């Protein structure tokens, strides 16, 4: 009897650090692991968020048995509200208590009511039709991170999720080595593993090492202390709170996501700090400077974050002053380096005592470095291997690590988004790719912004725009007037010689175009645009966007 193959299809997560989403499909059953987003960089002007294209899921939603979220970071949860709104079926969401708590706040913002949450605990086994999943603990930069062992009739798949091997984690929940060894004994036919730090040699330091530095800096600060971190980095927030309390400081929380996440984490028991030690940012008036620590958003230099507003004097209750200590407890996400540098310079000009990763161990990664990745490969002993979660430089470095510990190079698959692996009878091969790509969230518009729009926005931001308004006489076709309206163009409106020559160029071009193309408005406008663009390049080596408007009077 012929059986179908298990399909493994990453829809995101393989062209950058973000928008992680992978489909596992067998016959009439399908699960989705993670639904993340990615934040835009300077090449995406006006774009708010970037999502994976999940058209394939919508086309096969009748097979969808559940959505599994491995942990609570935005690059694994952020696309979930958009996916749920596009699905016609009510799909259960499986994850840990903390992750579901963080997701619930996000879904409430999108007015998604009564989601079908299913809490999962480490070691639990759940069946999704013919796809069976064992959940196991992983150490990461957020509590309650899962790896997955996926059992199917055609073979077994180990999905590591995001992980590092931290033997002294803040919450004492370690990677489930016993479980991984048990899975290896059952047979790991295919392993998908986090590649983020594959190019980095050695081991990633323990989160507790950051706590030592934070404690020392906070204890010795003479005035107020401001700590900017990811709002979802609960382990880091716990260490900051512990250091603040030990130094006799109250903790004030500001920034929408920071306020929301600390509240949820405290309610669920993941963030432990006494009520008397944590206060609202509006209640700081009577607290001496040397008795206050402010926990805030803004570690990525976001212009509207709490840290940026405090540095610019635009925050409602707080401002950073000379002598204050500011700790940036994060590493810039690729693309955010410039924004972070700008906020560091702003803080330095104020006279703040700024700490970032270049000055001390105020941040460590939540992802394992080369030796940790090799250790997990050695424990799991996969027959086939596919590095995931990263850019090309990360996945290829991870492939080399796998080769170095004995994985057959012919059994290593380096995937792109939309490509498909098929697992059948314990063997992995290439399958047929599916449509994939990215979807831009631009204000309230989703999926309408394309590369042409982004190209035009970049051009406008770099070169400016000129509208040339030409009026011609209906009877004779003679040019009656030419006017220029410009924005962001270096040539000023009173540069009479330049504009006079540009006007002559437009008149000659229009006269010739009317003779050649008759009343073809599109061809005439194109001729004017190309002629004026050429003139600007000849005179200034610039190419502003040119919009011709030809009117008859």
- In DSSP terms, 406 is beta-bridged to none
- What CA–CA distance (Å, rounded) separates 137 from 121? 9
Low-confidence ranges of the chain (pLDDT < 70): 1-3, 40-48, 334-335, 442-463, 473-477, 480, 488, 490-494, 514-515, 517-519, 553
464 CB neighbour count, 10 Å cutoff = 17
pLDDT of residue 324: 95
d(CA 525, CA 190) in angstroms, rounded, equals 58
Q: Which residue's structure tokens are 């314990």?
A: 426
Residue 104 contacts residue 148 (beta carbons within 8 Å): no
Which helix (H) or strand (E) is 234 found in, with range? Answer: helix 234-246
Tokens 């009878």: give the residue. Answer: 425
Sheet holding 125-128, edge to edge: 125-128, 131-138, 145-152, 155-159, 190-194, 384-388
* HSE-up of residue 72 (Cα within 13 Å, Cβ side): 26
Strand residues in 96-232 grouped as ranges (E)? 117-119, 125-128, 131-138, 145-152, 155-159, 190-194, 225-228
Q: What is the structure's pLDDT at 34?
A: 97
Residues noted as catalytic: 194, 367
H helices within 319-404, ranges in order?
337-350, 370-380, 392-404
Closest CA to 230 of 107, 75, 106: 75
Give the chain's length. Answer: 553
DSSP E strand boundaries for 204-300: 225-228, 250-254, 278-280, 292-296
Structural domain boundaries in the chain = 6-202+365-446, 207-355, 464-552
Contact between 35 and 62 (Cβ < 8 Å): no
Q: Which residue's entry shows tokens 């270096």? A: 490
Q: Pull the structure tokens for residue 510.
A: 């229009």
Report CA-CA distances (Å) from 84 to 58, 69, 220, 444: 10, 13, 48, 16
Q: Rounded to an integer, what is the distance from CA 399 to the centroid of its chain?
A: 24
Continuous H helices in 405-552: 451-463, 496-517, 521-540
The phi, psi pair for 311, rounded to 5°, reads -65, -30
Q: Convert the pLDDT of each residue in 391-403 to its tens digit.
A: 999 999 999 999 9
- pLDDT tens digits, 479-520: 767 778 777 676 644 577 777 787 777 777 777 776 676 667
* CATH classification code of 6-202+365-446: 3.60.15.10
Whole-number pLDDT of residue 1? 42
Q: 207-355: CATH homologous superfamily?
A: Metallo-hydrolase/oxidoreductase (3.40.50.10710)
Say what the pLDDT of residue 462 is: 59
Comparing CA positions, the residue from 8, 86, 70 lying closest to residue 33 is: 70
Q: Which residue has the tokens 């012929």?
A: 2
Residue 349 burial by Cβ neighbours in a 10 Å radius (0-12, 13-18, 19+)? exposed
CATH number of 464-552, picked from 3.30.365.10, 3.40.190.10, 3.10.20.580, 3.30.565.10? 3.10.20.580
The span from the CA of 303 to the CA of 343, in Å, is: 9
């Amino acid at each position: 009897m012929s059986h179908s193959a298990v399909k493994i299809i990453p829809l995101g997560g393989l062209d950058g650090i973000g928008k992680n989403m992978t489909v596992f499909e067998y016959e009439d059953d399908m699960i989705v692991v993670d639904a993340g987003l990615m934040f835009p960089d300077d090449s995406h002007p006006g774009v708010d968020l970037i999502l994976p294209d999940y058209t394939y899921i919508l086309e096969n939603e009748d097979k969808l048995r559940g959505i599994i979220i491995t942990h609570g970071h935005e690059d694994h949860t952020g696309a979930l509200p958009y996916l749920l709104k596009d699905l016609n079926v009510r799909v259960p969401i499986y994850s840990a208590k903390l992750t579901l708590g963080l997701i619930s706040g996000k879904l409430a913002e999108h007015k998604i009511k009564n989601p079908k949450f299913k809490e999962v605990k480490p070691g639990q086994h759940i069946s999704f039709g013919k796809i069976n999943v064992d959940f196991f603990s992983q150490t990461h930069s957020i509590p309650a991170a899962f790896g997955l062992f996926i059992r199917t009739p055609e073979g077994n798949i180990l999905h590591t999720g995001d992980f590092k091997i931290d033997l002294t984690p803040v919450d004492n929940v370690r990677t489930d080595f016993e479980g991984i060894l048990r899975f290896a004994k059952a047979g790991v036919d295919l392993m998908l593993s986090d590649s983020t730090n594959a190019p980095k040699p050695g081991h990633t330091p323990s989160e507790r090492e950051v706590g030592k530095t934070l404690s020392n800096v906070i204890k010795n600060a003479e005035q107020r202390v401001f700590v900017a971190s990811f709002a979802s980095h609960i382990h880091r927030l716990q260490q900051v709170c512990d250091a603040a309390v030990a130094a006799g400081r109250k903790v004030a929380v500001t920034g929408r996501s920071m306020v929301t996440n600390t509240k949820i984490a405290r309610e669920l028991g993941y963030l432990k700090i006494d009520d008397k030690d944590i206060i609202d940012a509006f209640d700081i008036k009577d607290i001496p400077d040397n008795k206050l620590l402010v926990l805030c958003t803004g570690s990525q230099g976001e212009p509207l974050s709490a840290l940026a507003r405090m540095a610019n004097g635009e925050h409602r209750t707080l401002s950073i002053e000379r002598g204050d200590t500011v700790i940036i407890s994060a590493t810039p996400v690729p693309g955010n380096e410039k924004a972070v540098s700008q906020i560091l310079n702003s803080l330095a000009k104020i006279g703040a005592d700024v700490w970032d990763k270049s000055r001390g161990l105020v941040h460590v990664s939540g992802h394992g470095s080369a030796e940790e990745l090799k250790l997990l490969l050695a424990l799991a002993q996969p027959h086939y291997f596919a590095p995931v979660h990263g850019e090309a430089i990360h996945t290829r470095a991870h492939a080399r690590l796998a080769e170095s510990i004995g994985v057959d190079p012919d059994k290593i698959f380096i995937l792109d988004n939309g490509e498909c692996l098929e697992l059948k009878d314990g063997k992995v091969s290439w399958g047929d790719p599916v449509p994939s790509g990215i979807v831009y969230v631009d204000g309230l518009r989703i999926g309408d912004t394309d590369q042409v729009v982004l190209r035009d926005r970049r051009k406008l931001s770099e070169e400016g725009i000129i509208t040339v308004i030409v009026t011609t006489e209906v009877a004779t076709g003679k040019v009656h007037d030419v006017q220029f309206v410009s924005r962001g163009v270096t040539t000023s409106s009173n540069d009479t010689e330049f504009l006079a020559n540009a006007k002559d160029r437009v008149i000659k071009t229009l006269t010739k175009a009317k003779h050649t193309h008759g009343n073809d408005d599109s061809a005439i406008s194109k001729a004017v645009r190309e002629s004026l663009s050429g003139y600007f390049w000849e005179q200034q080596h610039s190419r502003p966007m040119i919009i011709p408007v030809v009117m008859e009077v």
